[in-house]
Amino acid sequence: MSTADAPSWTRRAVGVLVGAAVAMVLVGCGADGASPPGALEVDRITVAAASDLRPAFEELGQAFEAATGTSVTFSFGSSGQLREQIVNGAPFHLFAAANVSFVDEVIASGRGVATTKADYALGRIVLWAPSGVALPKSIEELTDARYRRIAIANPDHAPYGLAAEQALKSAGVHDRIRSRLVYGENISDTFRIVQSNNAEIGIVALSLAIADGSQYTLVPAELHEPLEQALVVTSRGEHGNAAAAFARFLGSPAGREVMVRYGFVLPGEALPTS
């Protein structure tokens, strides 16, 4: 697929976080537009990150600290709630959202450094159930009476919940199962609802299902709007430069390997069909 034929999120990302050459360009400037020092000047940065990123980012945080000596403290939650915290002054240094719209809102509020905005992944949703529960082969099978409670994240502020709701509507089953839906505050909370047997099945992030090592059924991407995941640095000075370094690390070969392993589609890559 050529850049001209690619979806808009891919075209925006080409020239930002794709390939080693672009990563080298990003190394040339920090969050303030100045050349960063050869070594990071801060001991710790704080990152507000969408819940679907937990398994990948916890691994990347450890690798980043080993490489730079700067530790990363994460606050995982729904993108909408994290957006509100940042807009209201929460002292995060980087915001990694599950939908680019929340990053745009942070930038519009004056809390994000616009020049650091970058798409970093495309997320996928799956039908997930613990071992021992018969997994449906398609989203249409959720109408089966054995699925008495179906968990999704709150679509009002969780992008993965909105994608789940859109998929249910596109498949023509939302109204038929509406009374059986239970809602998590974010996608990790949704996963826990199913894991604790408070729902028979859930529509969750592929990354969480892969981290759990359990069965899942991929929901066709055409059933929902793309989960265009983006990030932005939310502080300046040395902490901003360190946050920008973590963003660059995410786009490095080592970072990309981790993200791919947890099922994310990276900028410049074609969307898999299975």
96 band by pLDDT with thresholds 50, 70 and 90: very high
Least confident of 11-20, 66-75, 161-170, 205-214: 11-20
274 belongs to an annotated ligand binding site: no
pLDDT score recorded for residue 273:
64
Least confident of 24-33, 200-209, 223-232, 265-274: 24-33
User: pTM value?
Assistant: 0.84
- Angstrom distance (rounded) from CA 216 to CA 204: 9
Mean pLDDT of the chain: 87
pLDDT score recorded for residue 80:
95
Pairing of strands 216-218, 44-50: unpaired
Residues 188-242 pLDDT 10s: 999 999 999 999 999 999 999 999 998 899 999 999 999 999 999 999 889 999 9
Q: Is the pLDDT of residue 253 over 90?
A: yes
- Angstrom distance (rounded) from CA 1 to CA 200: 39
The CATH homologous superfamily for domain 8-123+226-261 is Periplasmic binding protein-like II (3.40.190.10)
pLDDT score recorded for residue 267:
86
Would the CATH topology of 8-123+226-261 be identical to that of 125-218? yes
Domains of the chain: which residue ranges? Answer: 8-123+226-261, 125-218
187 belongs to an annotated ligand binding site: yes
What percentage of the chain exceeds 70 in pLDDT?
A: 85
Range 125-218 has CATH code 3.30.70.370: no
